[in-house]
Amino acid sequence: MSAPVNAVRTSKVNALTIDVEDYFQVSAFAPYIARSEWDTRECRIERNMDLIMGILAEHGVNATFFTLGWIAERYPQVVRQIVANGHELASHGFGHHRANEQSEELFLADIQLAKIVLEDLSGQQVKGYRAPSFSINDQNQWAFDCIERAGYSYSSSVYPIRHDHYGMPDSPRFAHQVRPALMEVPVTTMRLFDRNWPAGGGGYFRLLPYAMSKWLLRRVNRVDGEPANFYFHPWELDFDQPRVPDVDAKTRFRHYLNLGRTEQRLRRLLGDFAWGRVDKVFLKSPVH
Quick one: fold of 13-282?
TIM Barrel (3.20.20)
Between the alpha carbon of residue 87 and those of residues 125, 191, 249, the distances in Å are 13, 30, 36
Q: How far apart are CA 62 and CA 286, in angstroms?
A: 21
Q: Residue 249 carries which side chain, given as an amino acid letter? A: A
Q: Cα-flanking dihedrals φ and ψ of residue 45, to 5°?
A: -65, -35
Which of 40-54, 58-72, 82-96, 152-166 is predicted with the least confidence, judged by mean pLDDT? 152-166
Residue range 270-287: mean pLDDT, rounded: 88
Give me the pLDDT at residue 10, please: 57
Task: State residue 1's pLDDT score.
Answer: 36
Cite the DSSP H helix spans in the chain: 45-58, 69-74, 76-84, 104-122, 142-149, 203-207, 210-219, 249-256, 262-272, 278-282
Lowest mean pLDDT among 8-17, 78-87, 114-123, 211-220: 8-17
Average pLDDT over residues 211-224: 96
- Phi and psi, residue 148, nearest 5°: -65, -45
pLDDT in tens, 167-191: 688 899 999 999 999 999 999 999 9
Domain ranges for the chain: 13-282
> CA triplet 233, 63, 51: central angle to 5 degrees?
55
pLDDT (tens digit, 9 = 90+) per residue, 68-116?
999 999 999 999 999 999 999 999 999 999 999 999 999 999 999 999 9
